[in-house]
Structure 1
Amino acid sequence: MSDSIKRRHFMAALGSLVAGASLAPPPARAATAPPRIPLSRAPGQLASVYDVLVIGSGYGGAVMAARLAPGRSLAVLERGKEWSPDAFASGLVDTLAQFRTASSPLGLFDYRAGGSIDVLSGNGVGGTSLINSSVVLAPDRDIFGRWPQAIRDAYASGAMDGYEARVRTMLGADTVTEADALRKSWFHLSTTAARKRQGALVQPRALPIAVNLRRYQGQPNAQGVFQAACTHCGDCVTGCRVGAKNSLDVNYLPLARSGGAQIVARIEIDWIERLADNRWRVHYLARPDSGPAVAGSVVAASVILAAGSLGSTQILLRSQARGLALSPALGTRFSTNGDLLGLAYNTRVQTNVMGFGAVPAPFGLKRVGPTITAMADYRAAGTPVAQRYLIQDAAIPSALVDALRLAMPLAAPGGSDFPALQRIARDGAKRGTDGALNHSMVYLGIGHDSASGKVELDAHGNARVLWPGIMKEPFGQRMRAEMALHAQAFGGRYADSPRSSPLFGGAMTTVHPLGGCPMADRVEDGVVDADGRVFNPHGAPQAVYPGLRVMDGAIAPASLGANPLLTIAALAERAADRYRL
């Protein structure tokens, strides 16, 4: 491998980790993870026939499994492995080693680099909940113009409010307060208030997050899983080593298991086929603890695809190539959810954004906090949907701190005054709280793109995203300009994610992939209906295949303009209530 290719691969990984930092909640001082009873069983324990198979253990799959398991033979098939808190990486080398590749298919980070878009998702029991920011945020109620009428009606009537409340309770959503004394939260809310005084239509807001901030102190939670309280280390993108994050492996998945579900890890689904009796045969590759991977199949009356936007779309594209008739909309309406990563570098104010993981807080740093805690909300009433967006604060995971303190002077060179240059020099000499990086702010922007991406299979049969015009979409320019104004409030310099630079490929990175199997009212316009049932193009415009559903971010036909986990889980709660074989 040439040096240039190695550099591009490293920067792609680096870009994904910084993006992922905008995705998760945290730990802090030295802590021992509480004991966990394994949820999953080995591939060899998979039966040959089930009533229901759920493919994937992210938000859609975990909710469906928890609600449908009682009274049915149900299995959750997860391609990744089960992770205990102490198995998550604690440094850059370990973190890079946990990237999923052809030679390491059980890696935690599934990072798919593309020509214009890179996609990051999680790989393990709990899916992306293992590495996200756990922001539990509802979308605006008037953004569903491209969604099926039944979904629009469910939001307009308030029916979805009940499903969202159910999800918030299950995920234990909580909010950081002023008493937590987080400098990065104060910084972001302060610059947002300054922009509001300058006339911007923005509101500073604290964010609800699925993190055990204070409720359980090494005690069993509502599902009997022991949890420690958040230690505010800012290190969740590499997995919560403390065991404080309310990821799906501590709530919905234990509930599914207690209801009788079998959770089988290390099974990657290849394709599905419809049998003559209307049941489904699911073809898979199982990876036992030792020995080579083994191909096999399992039959079920009902299959629920919940493998994520790329995963579910990939399975259906492969199945279509083998003869399963599907909508012409398969692979369309891919959205990045308007994701944009930026950074206010070397401001005059110490921000405490440098994560330190599950070790004692170093160099006088006391609290970083959950990775995302606050936002600047640009969704004012009357603003056109396409122009609405959020700018959320984020932390830098400890695995990236040293790399970024040395790299950022190249990405955002210069300083406006002698103190700024001094801070840069301090970062070059050592890691400390008084350097330029710890006087910076990481931003995750979320807005509305045109959902014009297309998912197709590459030469190896793996999903990839094509969207040549993504870098020119208006949401990116709009958020970059506003992030720069936030940076200037305390004398900082705005910088884009390194991955978006032409030097390193010029690609956007999304941590909230949506679409590929979009919802619609007719087969001509979408892959699934309002309940996630897959359309049969050989029938009437609304005919569906008995027993085949998609229930994850792939069904979103457009961006949400908010972190999507609440919407995905609430739609799954609704679909479970309406489930009929």
Structure 2
Amino acid sequence: MPRLASKLSALKPKYPIVVVGSGYGGGIAASRLARAGREVCVLERGREFQPGEFPDNELEASRSSQAEIPGLAKGRIGSRLALLDWHIEKEFNVLRGCGLGGTSLINANVALEADPKVFEDPRWPRALVTDLDGPLRDGYRRAREVLDPKPYPGDWPKLPKLEAHRRSAEAMGERFERVPINVSFEDRVNAFGVEQSKCTLCGDCVSGCNYGAKNTVAMTYLPDAWNHGAEIFTEIEVERVEARDDGLWAVHYTPVAKGCAFEADAERVVLAEIVILAAGTLGSTQILLRSRAHGLSTSACLGEGFSGNADVLGFGYNTDHRINGVGAGARGPDPRAPVGPTITCAIDGRTAARPLAEHFVIEDAALPGAIDAIYARALDGASEAWGEDTDGGAIDYLSERHRALRSRLPGGARHGAVANTQTYLGMALDSGAGKLHLDERGRLRIDWPRAEREPVIEALNARILAATAALGGTFVPNPTWSNHFESCLVTVHPLGGCAMAEDASVGVTNHKGQVFRGTAGAAVHEGLYVADGSVIPMPIGVNPLLTISAVAERSVALLAADHGWTINYDLDHRPVPPREPPEPPGVGVRFTERMAGFVSLVDPEQPHERAYAAGEDAGTSLSFVLTLSTDDLDATLDDPAKPMTLDGTVDAPALAPEPLQVSGGRFSLLSADPEQLDTTNMIYAMTLTADDGRCWSFRGVKYVHDDRGLDLWRDTTTLFVDVHDQDGALVARGLLHIALADFARQLSTMEATGTQSRVERLEAVTRFGRFFAGSLFDTYADVFAGPSVFNPEAPPRKRRPLRTDAPELHYMFTSDGVQLCLTRYRGGDKGPVILCHGLGVSSRIFTVDTIDTNLVEYLFAHGYDLWLLDYRASIELAASADPASADTVAAIDYPEAVAEVRRLTGATSVQMVVHCFGSTAFFMSMLSGALTGVRAAVASQTAAHVESAPLVKLKSGLHLPTALAALGVDTLTAATDRDARWYEKLYDRALDLYPVDDDERCASASCHRISFMYSLLYEHDQLAVATHETLHELFGVASVAAFDHLARMVRAKQLVDAAGSDVYLPHPERLAIPLRIIHGAENACFLPAGTKKTYAWLREHNDPELYSYVEIPNFGHIDCIFGERAATEVYPHILDHLERNL
């Protein structure tokens, strides 16, 4: 099928209608209004997918996942364009689709109507309820005509999971039915000119259909909209909408593609007479919340009434029946063992005899094959931890164990226990008591305390247990619903937030989807609509796509009628002549450039250099952020004079107070200069448009002289600018420049488009980069380098001498025979101060020579007597490979090391600076009463309470250290080298899958191992390049026993001993010493909330004046110790506390 999306540069400044989002509501609005002859623009955050481009293996699945985690400082991991879009909260998680077609790309496309009883609820507006048999019924019919739902055909191959579900329904005494699904069971060209293949029964509907068999919005409504003239744009995120005085709506957006990203990228604006928000329950609500924060008047109910549709996921693990419930993935469909569409049937508990509150459906499901390797261990481990076996007996037990072992063999997801596992998706009617709101950083949050304890959730799990019992399996509830994960719910059917209602006192939109203007009454914002799941005011107890579509069809029909437009619903109607599809894009490149400088408006005819100086004196600045792109790299390199496209914004306060929108932008890479020998020009030409409609033409030229040398930098980073008004008069002249940091950033945004492999992407970027910037590209091209590991054959690097006296080494043996080391740097008589490192490192973290000033040098210069303790977890000691918990360090190492320092110095007490695992052991040692003689301390990153990041929780909740121990793995190491054994290299390659924010990705294998073992321990931009390149010197082996102890604390959210017992927190009075806690705000391992809890706890139980807390902005975990800027932004806080407690 042809690509539907146009290039961003084709986006016009103004449209009659802008539709935000491309799911069911957005697709319907675009299709129907385009059929009414209206000019429609569709804006979608995700990218456009074609059949064959959806993930079908682990690597692709990892790259296709993103997670918005408001609890994290950065708030997100993964690409904003990734298909599988998670929103993760403490009480509630949401999965939605990100791409052209919205969640229809990844749902099971089940098209069930809501029970008529649902519409008897008073939350629905009366105008809608009174026409159930009119416009709403028409909406259902029209949606069915387009989406074409059908049950799984009776004459197709029998599906074991369908037959098993029938068996469960019979045992439960409930109704069984094959549900209508939007799937094609024949090869065809559909009514919208899209060629579709029949369903292959691969079972991978929820990771995207690679065969074109699903009747998604991208296969139906959107091509229909495109056929009728709609303009569709992808990779655009709408931030907010603004009502203008002239009656138009300003839609504020930002491009989200890597090649368009820039820290200083300004919001862009497109104007519209009518805006239809259809960005989904979370998206549309967030846009309106942000709009309200910028002054838009809305109902106070905005964000309320959020529902998860009582979605419940569960598993009938290791049943006595073959299920075939795992998708084919990269293996491809197996006709001998068909899986079927993801959902084919339901146990339907919506009967006339039951009150609406007790209605439910339980559908069969299939797990996506892309990640089939994880299922055997995950399900087996979950069944052991919190599963409920529904049958018994010795023979049954042996059979179950045999099947479980078979599933652990290669390809085991299709054999044994996993092949006999039924996946269930249940739905019912929850209370809809959730609330969406923005936090202080403008991020969307979901609040729904104790949602997981709603009776309907408990009842639905009980029914899934009964369905499992009919098959003789072990019931495994959704792992996140277990106590190990704080009983968090997951929904794929979020509803509400912009609920339609009678008036603004009880809802956000009226029955037409128009947004109420104010907190009371029925007045609306003219031209502002919502058309997606967010307007549904309550749960509906079944898959909601058909009801969302019917309501959207109704709303759009009413909108058209209100404006006197006629929608042609005839599916045989096609525009004449038919619209020609664009040529398929070839291999291209795009990147973002930022330039800034000054222009003069007083005497623009003067030379550019003088105009720049005059503009600088007058303060008339001008800057831009532009995305430059080409869809044909070969043609661009063959003919550099052929224009590339430009789009973006220009900030010129002297011309207009708001950013000017760029249109018609053209960039000629290298055009010969007709007036200067051996000179080529880079030419920028574009139209600038202000919000009030005024326009200017912008022309900029970079003069690139063929004189080699350092002038190349000046030539390629200096732009000579002229700005003319609409009459052609020159109104501004000056110069713009690229800062060195911006140039490096510019190269990092360079992205290949239209490529099919990583190698092809790198080749394209390298070809263009070297042509565009010559040797300057090679200077900064390390951002494109491949994996990097330590070369053991390389000569030792030259180290800089520390600005300290020679250290003294004092070795000591503990009472249990372990050798420790104390390294003394005597900078004066202050202290003594003992510095304690974390897990998997050594005291060398305090003496790194790759930064200008390390912590030892800093404190040495201030006159401190420093003692660096390498306790038994230090990678410098042989004991680090032995099993040891923090209990042992707390009970033995710390008390005996402190006693030794006091003996050697004659001091009555010491001060301590403790980091991470070393800080954890310090709190244990003090609270247990084992450690005395400490008069003050600074604790870095950890304390007595633990709040961990979601990935740390996941590894701890799945008992990963225990699993590693069971496999005979007793240590992990972050050290890598080129001579690593094959399985170590495989380990490093596998860690490429580990989810990390795009901004934190790098090529260091040591860095990847560190992130896997501990989570990301630093902000990359806080590390010196030399430090990052020598991480293998600082990190090494760590005991799995120590990880297991940490995992227990993560699960307990506080200090516990290695057995999990609460033995430390009963005595807060033992920590009645001056204590300062420092914590990196961006810490991706342990969140500041944990140490803040300890801070409050200590202040509650002891003299509050003893304690202080410092959160370090823009720093992570260990970069607070050896970050490039730690000496100016972190160390002063440590010194201040030590000085206060001499």
Match of 1:552 among 529, 532, 550: 532
Match of 2:440 among 455, 459, 462: 459
Equivalent pairs counted in the alignment come to: 535
Match of 1:230 among 179, 193, 199: 199
Q: Is the partner of 1:100 in helix, strand or coil?
A: strand
Query: In the aligned structure 2, how far is the partner of 1:152 from the partner of 1:291?
Result: 46
AA matched with 2:255: A
Q: Is the partner of 1:85 in helix, strand or coil?
A: coil
| Structure-2 residue corresponding to 1:409 | 380
Between 1:242-251 and 1:159-168, the stretch displaced more is: 159-168
Query: In the aligned structure 1, how far is the partner of 2:349 from the partner of 2:207?
Result: 29
Determine if contact 2:452/2:489 at 8 Å carries over to the other structure: yes
Q: Is the partner of 1:572 in helix, strand or coil?
A: helix
Question: RMSD of the alignment, in Å?
Answer: 1.6
What is the deviation of 1:436?
0.6
| Structure-2 residue corresponding to 1:471 | 452
Q: Is the partner of 1:355 in helix, strand or coil?
A: coil
Query: In the aligned structure 1, how far is the partner of 2:116 from the partner of 2:162?
Result: 27
| Structure-1 residue corresponding to 2:150 | 174
CA-to-aligned-CA distance 1:149-187 (integer Å, 9 cap, x gap): 1121122x3542222121111012111133221111111
AA matched with 2:23: G
Q: Is the partner of 1:312 in helix, strand or coil?
A: helix
Query: In the aligned structure 1, how far is the partner of 2:208 from the partner of 2:38?
Result: 32
State yes or no: 1:439 paired with 2:420. yes
Match of 2:485 among 504, 524, 541: 504
Question: Gapped runs of 5+ residues in structure 2?
Answer: 68-75, 564-1142
Determine if contact 1:375/1:392 at 8 Å carries over to the other structure: yes
Query: In the aligned structure 2, how far is the partner of 1:111 from the partner of 1:505?
Result: 18
State yes or no: 1:420 paired with 2:400. yes
Determine if contact 2:18/2:275 at 8 Å carries over to the other structure: yes
Determine if contact 2:515/2:524 at 8 Å carries over to the other structure: yes
Q: How does 1:35-54 map to 2 (within 5 A)?
A: 36-54=1-19
CA-to-aligned-CA distance 1:449-477 (integer Å, 9 cap, x gap): 00000001123312121101201101111
| Structure-1 residue corresponding to 2:226 | 257
CA-to-aligned-CA distance 1:94-119 (integer Å, 9 cap, x gap): 11211135551111111010010001
Distance verdict in 2 for CA 1:360–1:64, change over 3 Å = closer
AA matched with 1:170: V
Q: Is the partner of 2:118 in helix, strand or coil?
A: coil
Query: In the aligned structure 1, how far is the partner of 2:472 from the partner of 2:107?
Result: 30
| Structure-1 residue corresponding to 2:552 | 572
Query: In the aligned structure 2, how far is the partner of 1:567 from the partner of 1:170?
Result: 14
Match of 1:68 among 33, 49, 62: 33
State yes or no: 1:79 paired with 2:50. no
Match of 2:496 among 515, 527, 539: 515
AA matched with 1:45: A
Query: In the aligned structure 1, how far is the partner of 2:341 from the partner of 2:161?
Result: 10
AA matched with 1:232: L
Query: In the aligned structure 2, how far is the partner of 1:361 from the partner of 1:569?
Result: 31
TM-score by length of 1: 0.89
AA matched with 2:152: V
| Structure-1 residue corresponding to 2:104 | 129
| Structure-1 residue corresponding to 2:799 | none
What is the deviation of 1:288?
5.2
Query: In the aligned structure 2, how far is the partner of 1:462 from the partner of 1:410?
Result: 35
What is the deviation of 1:382?
3.1
Determine if contact 1:318/1:461 at 8 Å carries over to the other structure: yes
AA matched with 1:442: T
Determine if contact 1:332/1:516 at 8 Å carries over to the other structure: yes
Match of 2:293 among 306, 313, 321: 321
CA-to-aligned-CA distance 1:328-355 (integer Å, 9 cap, x gap): 1001000001100001111110011111
What is the deviation of 1:230?
0.6
State yes or no: 1:58 paired with 2:27. no
What is the deviation of 1:373?
0.3
Match of 1:161 among 137, 144, 150: 137
| Structure-2 residue corresponding to 1:114 | 89
What is the deviation of 1:220?
2.2
| Structure-2 residue corresponding to 1:28 | none
Determine if contact 1:241/1:357 at 8 Å carries over to the other structure: no
What is the deviation of 1:71?
2.1
What is the deviation of 1:559?
0.2
AA matched with 1:210: N
Match of 1:448 among 405, 420, 429: 429
Relative contact order, higher structure (CA 8 A, sep 6+): 1
| Structure-2 residue corresponding to 1:398 | 369
| Structure-1 residue corresponding to 2:169 | 192
AA matched with 1:578: L
What is the deviation of 1:289?
6.9
CA-to-aligned-CA distance 1:228-274 (integer Å, 9 cap, x gap): 11100101211111111111111100111111110111110011110
AA matched with 2:57: G
Match of 1:493 among 445, 455, 474: 474
Determine if contact 1:43/1:288 at 8 Å carries over to the other structure: no
Q: Is the partner of 2:214 in helix, strand or coil?
A: coil
State yes or no: 1:285 paired with 2:262. no
| Structure-2 residue corresponding to 1:140 | 115
Between 1:494-503 and 1:241-250, the stretch displaced more is: 494-503
Determine if contact 1:378/1:390 at 8 Å carries over to the other structure: yes
Q: Is the partner of 2:449 in helix, strand or coil?
A: coil
Q: Is the partner of 1:401 in helix, strand or coil?
A: helix
Q: Is the partner of 2:117 in helix, strand or coil?
A: coil
CA-to-aligned-CA distance 1:112-154 (integer Å, 9 cap, x gap): 1001000111111000000000001001011121100112112
Determine if contact 1:377/1:389 at 8 Å carries over to the other structure: yes
Distance verdict in 2 for CA 1:40–1:300, change over 3 Å = same
Query: In the aligned structure 2, how far is the partner of 1:152 from the partner of 1:282?
Result: 32
Query: In the aligned structure 1, how far is the partner of 2:130 from the partner of 2:525?
Result: 24
Distance verdict in 2 for CA 1:168–1:45, change over 3 Å = same
Q: Is the partner of 1:115 in helix, strand or coil?
A: coil
State yes or no: 1:204 paired with 2:176. yes
Determine if contact 2:318/2:417 at 8 Å carries over to the other structure: yes
Match of 1:336 among 286, 303, 308: 308
CA-to-aligned-CA distance 1:169-212 (integer Å, 9 cap, x gap): 1012111133221111111012101211xxxxx21010000011
What is the deviation of 1:290?
2.6
Determine if contact 1:352/1:365 at 8 Å carries over to the other structure: no
Query: In the aligned structure 2, how far is the partner of 1:126 from the partner of 1:283?
Result: 21
Query: In the aligned structure 1, how far is the partner of 2:514 from the partner of 2:417?
Result: 52
Query: In the aligned structure 1, how far is the partner of 2:214 from the partner of 2:46?
Result: 19
Q: Is the partner of 2:512 in helix, strand or coil?
A: coil
Identity value in percent:
39
Query: In the aligned structure 2, how far is the partner of 1:288 from the partner of 1:135?
Result: 31
CA-to-aligned-CA distance 1:39-92 (integer Å, 9 cap, x gap): 111222110111111000000010011001242221010011101122211112
AA matched with 2:32: R
Question: Gapped runs of 5+ residues in structure 1?
Answer: 1-35, 197-201
